[in-house]
């Protein structure tokens, strides 16, 4: 049965067959209604929400530099050879793996078979909100210039198609995949930390996750970029540029969900995490992620929440 507001929210006087109806009861009911209208309680008003978006992103550093950094990517595994600096504390870490639901084919952290690197961002909400949407954009450039960034791993001077288990080196694809299979190795996790023990990853609540999906099934545009960056007839006026160095078409992958309608409690620490793979090339092919997967695309993320409209 659908929920509906009961009339007793306005008055406790109920009139129906078999009860007495007199002037005293009628007057009391009317007075209750007048007082309720003049001083409306919060539970008797319809909630109104405004959408707020939290956006972040970054471009990888210059890959030609010998003094490069993986930032903001950190290892998923908190082992002794992890991303932390200094001496590991006694009986630490408490969370050997920092995320739930991040396992992918071809990487086994317990057996030191490959690794994963994670980009995370954390938001704090002082008041309850509703999680409405999550969007992750992987920006790939393409075109005639062979030195364009974010094009995928290069083998033998040939730029390969991103996100395929192409047989690079002596490795083989993970079990169940062929050398030309699209990869399913980009987990996305949004979790809410426990308010009592936020440092304990075992206590976090995973509210949204997307994993083991085909990355090539999430294109940002149905219009494939032209190899020469000219002749984009889907634009009006017609886009035609021979300057492939400066005029780079926007392309890549978008993982986007809306209408999630997930309530987030008051004083919540919400974390959005994206994990990229670093395969062991001696056992499995490193796919087109290669040995430096943090250089293959520019990244951006957007979290949309609904916040209740409140009076000052």
**Are 9 and 138 part of one and the same domain?**
no
**Are 73 and 190 part of one and the same domain?**
yes
- If one counts the domains in the chain, the total is 2
pTM of the model: 0.77
Instruction: Count the helices and strands in the chain (H runs, E runs).
Output: 1, 12
Q: Is the dihedral of CA 103, 95, 122, 277 positive or negative?
A: negative
**Are 197 and 280 part of one and the same domain?**
yes
**Are 31 and 57 part of one and the same domain?**
no
**Are 67 and 159 part of one and the same domain?**
yes
Q: Is the dihedral of CA 78, 79, 82, 85 positive or negative?
A: positive
pLDDT of 139 reads 87
Closest CA to 186 of 287, 61, 280: 287
Per-residue pLDDT reduced to its tens digit, 270-295: 999 999 999 988 888 888 888 888 88
**Are 159 and 288 part of one and the same domain?**
yes
- Residue 1: pLDDT over 50: no
**Are 168 and 239 part of one and the same domain?**
yes
> How far is it, in rounded angstroms, from Cα 281 to Cα 161?
18
Which of the two residues, 105 and 64, has the higher pLDDT score?
105
pLDDT of 79 reads 64
**Cβ neighbours of residue 240 closer than 8 Å, sequence gap 6 or more:** 230, 231, 232
pLDDT of 282 reads 86
> How far is it, in rounded angstroms, from Cα 31 to Cα 54?
47
- Residue 201: pLDDT over 80: no
Give the pLDDT band (50/70/90) at residue 179: confident
pLDDT of 56 reads 94
**Are 29 and 60 part of one and the same domain?**
no
User: Is there a cis peptide before residue 65, judged by omega within 30 degrees of 0?
Assistant: no
Average the pLDDT over each of 11-25, 45-59, 178-192 and give the range with the smallest value. 11-25
Token pair for 299? 């990244």
Domain assignment of residue 132, given as a range: 48-308
């Amino acid at each position: 049965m659908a929920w509906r507001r009961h009339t007793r929210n306005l008055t406790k006087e109920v009139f129906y067959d078999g009860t007495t109806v007199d002037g005293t009861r009628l007057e009391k009911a009317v007075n209750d209604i007048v007082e309720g209208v003049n001083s409306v309680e919060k539970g008797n008003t319809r909630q109104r929400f405004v959408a707020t978006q939290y956006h972040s992103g970054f471009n990888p550093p210059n890959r030609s530099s010998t003094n490069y950094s993986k930032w903001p990517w950190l290892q998923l595994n908190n082992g002794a050879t992890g991303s932390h600096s200094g001496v590991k504390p006694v009986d630490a870490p408490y969370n050997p793996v920092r995320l739930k639901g991040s396992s992918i084919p071809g990487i086994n952290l317990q057996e030191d078979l490959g690794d994963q690197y994670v980009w995370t961002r954390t938001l704090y909400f002082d008041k309850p909100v509703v999680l409405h949407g999550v969007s992750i954009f992987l920006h790939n450039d393409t075109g005639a210039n062979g030195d364009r960034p974010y094009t995928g791993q290069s083998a033998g001077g040939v730029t390969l198609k991103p996100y395929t288990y192409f047989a690079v080196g002596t490795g083989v694809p993970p079990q169940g995949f062929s050398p030309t299979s699209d990869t399913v190795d980009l987990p996305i996790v949004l979790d809410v930390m426990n308010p009592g023990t936020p440092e304990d990853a075992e206590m976090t609540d995973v509210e949204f996750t997307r994993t083991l999906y085909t990355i090539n099934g999430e294109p940002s545009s149905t219009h494939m970029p032209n190899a020469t960056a000219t002749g984009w007839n889907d634009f009006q006026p017609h886009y035609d540029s021979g300057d492939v160095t400066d005029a780079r078409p926007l392309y890549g992958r978008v993982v986007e969900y809306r209408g999630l309608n997930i309530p987030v409690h008051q004083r919540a620490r919400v974390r959005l995490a994206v994990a990229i793979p670093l395969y062991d090339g001696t056992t499995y092919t490193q796919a087109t992620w290669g040995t430096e997967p943090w250089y293959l695309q520019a990244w951006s993320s957007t979290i949309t929440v609904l916040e209740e409209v409140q009076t000052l």
